[in-house]
Amino acid sequence: MSESNTPKSVSVLFVCLGNICRSTMAEGVFQSLTRPDGKPPHPLVATIDSCGTGAYHVGDGPDSRTMSTLSKNGITTYRHAARKFAPSSDFKTFDYILAMDDDNLDDLLRLRQREVKKLGGEDGVGQVMLFGEFGGSKRGGPGEEVQDPYYGGKEGFTAAFEQSVRFSKAFLEKLEQGELS
């Protein structure tokens, strides 16, 4: 493949409300798939991060149940400190901004509209999508939501992990097939 035909690597941001459960789960899973221990990183993925639309847990590590679920599934090197979504920088830094649910998707789309208006166009502004568009079951909205497991038990974290694996693999497949622009 000539250099001009080589797809450029992309940056991916996972977003939920507080950045300690769902988005960190998704980030940890996606990192494990694209940066496996002892192997070279995936050539199509440059940057991976997560954040929240709210500032409830800024500076905190992921929920202990998130970390326990990741560890139980062989993901033991993940580290993160919660942060709040920063429209002026995150829309420029990330090519794909993946929301965990409809409420966060709506918030991000509204923020994106403001950023596009401020910049005078779409150029250089990351795409906002529902993470569950990739490999999720279709419903009234664009795809499957990752339900917030914060107030529940470990089964909610297991479900979020399983969705993160399924959606991450489907997103990566679309990226590899050149179906994302």
* pTM metric for this prediction: 0.95
* Both structure tokens of 90: 């995150």
Residue 148 appears among annotated catalytic residues:
yes
Q: Are strands 10-16 and 96-99 parallel, antiparallel or unpaired?
A: parallel
pLDDT at 1: 39
Q: Which of 49, 63, 101, 148 does the annotation list as catalytic? A: 148
For the question of residue 16 being annotated catalytic, the response is yes
pLDDT of residue 2: 39
In this structure, the chain runs to a length of 181
Active-site residue identified among 16, 65, 95, 112: 16
The reported pLDDT for the residue numbered 6 is 62
**Tens digit of pLDDT for each residue in 83-113?**
999 999 999 999 999 999 999 999 999 999 9
* Catalytic site residue from 21, 22, 63, 112: 22
Query: Would residue 22 show up in a list of annotated catalytic residues for this protein?
Result: yes
* Amino acid symbol at 74: G
Q: What is the pLDDT of residue 139?
A: 74
Dmax (CA) of the chain: 51
Which residues of the chain register pLDDT less than 70?
1-6, 181
pLDDT at 5: 59
Whose tokens are 């497991």? That residue is: 149
Domains along the chain?
A: 3-176 (3.40.50.2300)
